[in-house]
């Protein structure tokens, strides 16, 4: 058994034109044209608008390779991903045709091979042509965007989204190679894992593909257990049961370690190895709940939605995933939802999640549209599901499969039923095809037919008393304090926009002058009415920003505050509410969006707000029916017993009232304690606040919005020592933040959005030396709300 990658000496050429270039494989046409300097960078300025022709052209990839040496029963061409409508030819003979970016393909090329040079070509016809052809044949289907992305099995957001450009790709986007083999090969290995009394059972389902027909011995071993099964001649499947005694359990981060054990499956000719983990996952849905239970432990999901990290996903390598996932961990996140408008990510993503203890909720790739159930789409959907379920099921991090994003919601609320006039919309996929494939291949993992969902296809899917909901009226129409009016079981999406980091904007947009509505900024804002909503969102809290710098700072602060408020509210409802998955962790290019980490990988202030809101130990002040209350949230395995001091004080620091609150919060529990009237009441709301402190944790409560607060012009002293910037407040400083990327695009800081009471100080640590001390100490690098409000 041997595998040879075919990643060298490729060229691309435009079949219906005269462009040609050398090609990187894996890769895509856009990135090759960019490398060859044949197009401008699609991520800069408004270049996107000039590049639509790429996706409308036919492209041919070509290479020449030597026939592998030696004698083999079979030589296969293995394609881990072709994007999307492709004809594969070897030495002029068609050996395959594909139309699904989400599947792996294997073609027996023996008959077409010759000695010496072999010419391989893969021709990609435009995704649009295929999809538009099916629209004509099957009839239109409504969706959130005008492009026909529901008619082709290709990453939907490639056609443009409310945070992404329309850059319709083509290419060999995942590895491609030759697999030469003899006898039999392991075509499929599916380990099903269940915990037993004092141990675990691994049931390994093996399927072989045969070139010769003899009895086959297959052995499997893991964690000291091993067993053999014989697959008789003429048969292709075998089952091996391994009983492992007292394995260490895999836990999500924050709950324990992530031990993994290598499972090895062998035949005489082939071998399969992968790390697995021992854990049990259940979904408690009793009475409308939506609570993940891992190893019997109910979990509050501190999540974020994951979108493709690049419009050209072939650029996302293991290192890039590792950076992004480390950032997710840094924000206190314990689950990522791989959203349905993207892809099934590569093995590296899930492998890193296993290692880090990041749970994964995997949407099948369906989003915001009605999907035709006719052929050829129906067969593609089933084939793709089978392929990816088998590929991903060994991963302990994968805790939930979901039928897709907002497709059932769209059917209920977005006026589709009339437009469909009885045509199919995808219900069969979510209620039969996908659960059917899972029941057969991966029965132990929970499945949710769609998100949001209320437990039955006949119920309105976004009912807050049942299952996960998506909260979008807040960003679109309401003040963010409205998050508090929800009492959900689980929130799978809610988000608030802000622009990208300053250095990211400066790299990608060359507007002069740069303003909140200069052409590049507007182009890098894809949401309907997005910039207006940003301003509307500021109105209750801040004066209208008069400059780009104020706009940039205030909208970023507002994003952080909105999400922090939402999360703290949702956490205060635990265990009734069992999760918050913020929209969205990352971006695929430089854009104003709901992301915490922008398209250049820079953290927005929201990142730090998330880190605080998702802290294992949280103090938060929440309005309750009978007044303000302190909610203490303990997401650790130890009891949290401490005495908090709640203080009513003036903005200038004078203390008026104090209340000592001794609390004892059990592991993974919360406690709610009403604040006393003297502390909670105020007759001077513009000049007072409440500060609650316990150990190193603190919660603040302001009675009025910043614009109505009697904030003083900021007074502080700054000391810069190497990478450390110490700020000492002489007045109250609201949401102090350092933006070192304004001085050096490589610079970042370990904290932002810090409110200091008079006399307090904070130390900010930079990642690099050598920044200008003087510039670090003031506007526009060091900022606080006082700058704008106290005028
Ligand atoms: C939801 C998501 C995405 C979208 C986001 C922001 O609909 O599922 O489709 O980007 O809201 O509008």
Last residue of a domain, one of 674, 708, 742: 708
Q: How far is CA 549 from the centre of its chain?
A: 29
| Residue 494 Cβ contacting ligand 1 at under 6 Å | no
Residue 454's SS3 state is coil
Give the C-alpha separation, 2 to 180, whole Å: 5
Q: Spell out the residues 6+ positions from residue 768 whose beta carbon is closer than 8 angstroms to its own.
A: 723, 744, 746, 747
**Helices and strands (H and E) in the chain: how many:** 19, 43
Residue 405 Cβ contacting ligand 1 at under 6 Å: yes
- What is the DSSP pairing of strand 359-363 with strand 335-338? parallel
Both structure tokens of 701? 């409560």
pLDDT above 70 for 221: yes
448 Cβ contact partners less than 8 Å away, ≥ 6 residues apart: 283, 400, 401, 402, 403, 467, 468
What pLDDT shows up at residue 70?
87
The CATH number assigned to the domain holding 45 equals 2.60.120.260
Tokens at 473, concatenated: 């009226």
**Mean pLDDT value across residues 309-327:** 98
**Is residue 102 within 8 Å of residue 153, measured between CB atoms?**
yes
Asked whether the beta carbons of 531 and 516 are under 8 A apart, the reply is: yes
Looking at the fold, whether 369 and 505 belong to one and the same domain comes out as yes
Give me 675's structure tokens.
Answer: 């604040």
CA–centroid distance, 496 to ligand 1, in Å, is 11
- Do the Cβ atoms of 483 and 565 come closer than 8 Å? yes
The reply to whether ligand 1 has any atom less than 6 angstroms from the CB of 583 is yes
SS3 742: helix
Calpha distance 124→56 (Å, rounded): 10
> Where among 179, 204, 221 does a domain terminate?
179
Q: Which two tokens stand for residue 737?
A: 């933040």
Cα separation, 250 vs 279, in Å, equals 5
Q: Is 349 in the pocket of ligand 1 (CB under 6 A)?
A: no
Residue 421: closest CA among 463, 370, 376, 489:
370
Q: How far is the CA of 150 from the centre of ligand 1 (A)?
A: 16
Give 625's pLDDT tier (boundaries 50, 70, 90).
Answer: very high
Does 29 fall in a domain?
yes
Q: Decide if 223 is inside a domain.
A: yes
**Shared-domain flag, residues 253 and 320:** no
In a domain, 153, yes or no: no
- Over 70: is that where the pLDDT of 791 sits? no
- Compute the distance from residue 550 Cα to the ligand 1 centre, in Å: 27
Whole-angstrom distance, CA of residue 485 vs CA of residue 487 = 7
User: What is the domain-level CATH number for residue 225?
Assistant: 2.60.40.10
Q: Are 542 and 452 part of one and the same domain? A: yes
- H-assigned helices in 116-226: 127-138
Q: Which of 583, 593, 596 to mutate to test the pocket of ligand 1 (most atoms within 8 A of CB)?
A: 583
From the CA of 405, give the closest atom in ligand 1: 8
Q: What are phi and psi of 781, to 5 degrees?
A: -85, -45
Residues 440 and 261: beta-carbon distance below 8 Å: no
Residue pair 382/433 in contact (Cβ under 8 Å)? The answer is yes
Do residues 448 and 435 make contact, with C-beta atoms less than 8 angstroms apart? Answer: no
| CA proximity to 303, closest of 344, 345, 332, 340 | 332
Question: Residue 759: which CATH number?
Answer: 2.60.40
Are 183 and 224 in contact, with CB atoms under 8 Å apart?
no
Q: Which of 368, 402, 492 to mutate to test the pocket of ligand 1 (most atoms within 8 A of CB)?
A: 368
Residue in the structure block whose two tokens are 């329309």 = 166
Q: Is the CB of 162 within 6 Å of ligand 1?
A: yes
- Tokens 């200038």 correspond to what residue? 652
Does 764 sit behind a cis peptide bond, omega within 30 degrees of 0 on the bond before it? no
**137 domain-assigned:** no
Mean pLDDT of the chain: 97
Residues 780 and 671 in one domain: no
- Rounded to an integer, what is the distance from CA 389 to the centroid of its chain? 19
| Percent of the chain whose pLDDT exceeds 90 | 99
Token digits for 51? 């590049």
DSSP lists the bridge partners of residue 143 as 369
496-542 pLDDT, tens digit per residue, is 999 999 999 999 999 999 999 999 999 999 999 999 999 999 999 99
Q: How far is CA 37 from the centre of its chain?
A: 31
Tell me, yes or no, whether 160 lies in a domain.
no
Indicate whether 117 and 188 sit together in one domain.
no
Q: Which residues contact 663 (CB under 8 A, 6 or more apart)?
A: 632, 640, 641, 642, 643, 644, 671, 673, 694
From the alpha carbon of 162, which atom of ligand 1 is closest? Answer: 10
Output DSSP code: residue 431.
I
pLDDT at residue 2 is higher than 90: no
Give the pLDDT confidence of 53-80 residue by residue, as tens digits.
999 999 999 999 999 988 999 999 999 9
CB 704 within 8 A of CB 685: yes
pLDDT on residue 1: 78
Q: Which domain holds residue 660?
A: 617-708
Domain endpoint, select from 578, 613, 648 = 613
Residue 450 CA, chain-centre distance (Å), reads 17
Q: Tell me the torsion sign for CA atoms 588, 594, 596, 598.
A: positive
Would you call 351 helix, strand, or coil by DSSP?
helix
**Beta-ladder partners of 587:** none
Write down the residue that tokens 């927005």 correspond to.
604
Which atom of ligand 1 approaches the CA of 527 most closely? 12
Contact 467, 285 (CB under 8 A): yes
Same domain, 746 and 659: no
Residue 305 Cα to ligand 1 midpoint, Å, equals 10
Q: Tokens in use for 680? A: 């909670």
CA distance 140 to 144: 13
Mutate to test the pocket of ligand 1, among 162, 305, 340, 412 (most ligand atoms within 8 A of CB): 162
Pick from 601, 14, 43, 596: nearest CA to 312: 43
Do 175 and 250 sit in the same domain of this protein?
A: no
How confident is the model over 432-455, as pLDDT tens digits? 999 999 999 999 999 999 999 999
| Separation of CA 528 and ligand 1 centre (Å) | 11
- 89-134 confidence digits (pLDDT tens): 999 999 999 999 999 999 999 999 999 999 999 999 999 999 999 9
Which atom of ligand 1 is closest in space to residue 163's alpha carbon?
10
Q: Decide: 104 and 173 in contact? Cβ < 8 Å.
A: no
669 and 753, same domain (yes or no): no
Tell me the average pLDDT across 570-591.
98
Residue 141 lies inside a defined structural domain of this protein: no
* Same domain assignment for residues 408 and 551: yes
Residue 603 lies in a domain: yes
Is the distance from the beta carbon of residue 161 to the nearest atom of ligand 1 less than 6 Å?
Answer: yes
370 and 491 in a common domain: yes
Closest-CA residue, ligand 1 atom 12, reads: 162
The answer to whether 351 and 395 have CB atoms below 8 angstroms apart is: yes
Contact 624, 606 (CB under 8 A): no
**Angle in degrees, CA 630, 635, 636, rounded to 5:** 125
Model pTM?
0.98
CA-to-CA separations, 449 to 68, 312, 738, 789, in angstroms, rounded: 45, 28, 44, 47
3-state secondary structure of 553: helix
Cβ neighbourhood burial of 739 (10 Å; 0-12, 13-18, 19+):
buried
CA distance 778 to 791: 15
Point out the ligand 1 atom lying closest to the alpha carbon of residue 470: 1
In a shared domain, residues 663 and 651: yes
User: Do 175 and 238 reside in the same domain of the chain?
Assistant: no
Give the mean model confidence (pLDDT) for residues 259-282. Answer: 97
Which residue's CA is the closest to the ligand 1 atom numbered 10?
Answer: 162
Does ligand 1 come within 6 angstroms of the Cβ of 307? no
334 in any annotated domain = yes
Domain count of the chain? 5
Q: Is 587 in the pocket of ligand 1 (CB under 6 A)?
A: no
Question: Which residue has a Cα nearest atom 8 of ligand 1?
Answer: 405
């Amino acid at each position: 058994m041997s595998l040879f990658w075919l990643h060298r000496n490729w060229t691309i050429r435009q079949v219906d034109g005269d462009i040609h270039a050398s090609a990187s494989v894996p890769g895509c046409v856009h990135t090759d044209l960019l490398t060859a300097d044949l197009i401008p960078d699609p991520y800069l300025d408004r270049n996107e608008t000039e590049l639509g022709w790429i996706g409308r052209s036919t492209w041919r990839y070509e290479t020449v390779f030597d026939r592998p040496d030696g004698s083999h029963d079979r030589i296969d061409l293995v394609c881990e991903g072709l994007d999307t409508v492709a004809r594969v030819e070897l030495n002029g003979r068609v050996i395959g045709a594909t139309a699904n970016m989400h599947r792996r393909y294997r073609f027996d090329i023996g008959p077409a091979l010759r000695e010496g040079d072999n010419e391989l070509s893969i021709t990609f016809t435009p995704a649009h042509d295929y999809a538009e052809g099916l629209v004509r044949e099957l009839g239109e289907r409504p969706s959130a965007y005008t492009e026909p992305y529901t008619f082709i099995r290709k990453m939907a957001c490639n056609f443009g989204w409310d945070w992404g450009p329309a850059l319709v790709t083509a290419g060999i986007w995942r590895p491609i190679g030759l697999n030469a083999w003899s006898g039999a090969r392991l075509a499929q290995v599916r380990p099903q894992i269940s915990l037993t009394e004092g141990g675990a059972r691994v049931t390994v389902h093996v399927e072989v593909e045969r070139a010769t027909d003899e009895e086959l011995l297959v052995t499997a071993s893991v964690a000291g257990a091993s067993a053999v099964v014989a697959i008789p001649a003429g048969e292709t499947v075998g089952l091996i049961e391994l009983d492992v005694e007292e394995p260490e359990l895999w836990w999500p981060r924050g709950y324990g370690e992530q031990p993994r054990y290598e499972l090895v499956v062998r035949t005489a000719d082939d071998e399969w190895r992968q790390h697995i983990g021992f854990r049990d996952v259940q979904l408690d849905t009793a009475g409308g709940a939506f609570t993940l239970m891992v190893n019997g432990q109910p979990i509050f999901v501190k999540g974020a939605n994951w979108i493709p990290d690049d419009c050209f996903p072939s650029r996302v390598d293991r290192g890039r995933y590792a950076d992004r996932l480390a950032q997710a961990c840094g924000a206190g996140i314990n689950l990522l939802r791989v959203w349905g408008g993207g892809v099934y990510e590569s093995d590296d993503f899930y492998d890193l999640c296993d290692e880090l203890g990041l749970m994964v909720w995997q949407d099948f790739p369906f989003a915001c549209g009605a999907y035709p159930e006719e052929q050829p789409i129906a067969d593609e959907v089933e084939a793709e599901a089978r392929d990816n379920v088998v590929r991903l099921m060994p991963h302990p991090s994968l805790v939930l499969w979901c039928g897709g994003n907002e497709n059932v919601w769209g059917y209920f609320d977005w006026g589709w039923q009339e437009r469909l006039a009885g045509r199919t919309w995808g219900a069969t996929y979510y209620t039969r095809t996908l659960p059917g494939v899972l029941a057969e291949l991966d029965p132990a993992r929970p499945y949710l037919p769609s998100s949001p969902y209320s437990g039955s296809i006949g119920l309105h899917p976004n009912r807050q008393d049942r299952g996960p909901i998506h909260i979008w009226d807040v960003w679109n129409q309401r003040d963010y304090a409205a998050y508090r009016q929800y009492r959900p079981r689980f929130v799978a999406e809610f988000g608030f926009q802000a622009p990208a980091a300053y250095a990211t904007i400066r790299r990608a947009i060359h507007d002069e002058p740069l303003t909140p509505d200069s052409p590049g900024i507007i182009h890098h804002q894809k949401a309907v009415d997005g910039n207006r909503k940003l301003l509307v969102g500021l109105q209750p809290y801040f004066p209208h920003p008069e400059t780009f710098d104020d706009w940039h700072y205030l909208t970023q602060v507002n994003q952080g505050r909105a999400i922090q408020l939402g999360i703290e509210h949702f956490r205060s409802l635990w265990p009734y509410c069992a999760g918050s998955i913020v929209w969205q962790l990352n971006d695929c290019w430089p854009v104003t969006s709901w992301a915490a980490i922008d398209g250049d990988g820079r953290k927005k202030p929201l990142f730090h707000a998330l880190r605080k809101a998702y802290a294992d130990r949280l103090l938060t002040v929440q309005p309750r029916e009978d007044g303000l209350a302190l909610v203490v949230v303990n997401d650790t395995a130890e009891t949290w017993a401490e005495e908090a001091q709640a203080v009513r004080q003036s903005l200038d620091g004078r203390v008026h009232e104090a209340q000592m609150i001794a609390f004892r919060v059990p592991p993974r529990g919360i406690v709610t304690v009403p604040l006393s009237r003297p502390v909670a009441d105020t007759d001077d709301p513009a000049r007072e606040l409440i500060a609650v402190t316990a150990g190193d944790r603190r919660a603040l409560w302001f009675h009025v919005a910043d614009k109505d607060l009697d904030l003083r012009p900021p007074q502080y002293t700054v000391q810069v020592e190497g990478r450390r910037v110490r700020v000492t407040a002489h007045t109250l400083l609201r949401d102090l933040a350092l933006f070192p990327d304004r001085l050096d695009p490589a610079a970042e800081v370990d904290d932002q959005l810090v409110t200091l009471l008079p006399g307090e100080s904070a130390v900010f640590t930079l990642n690099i030396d050598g920044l200008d001390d003087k510039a670090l100490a003031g506007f526009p690098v060091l900022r606080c709300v006082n700058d704008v409000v106290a005028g």
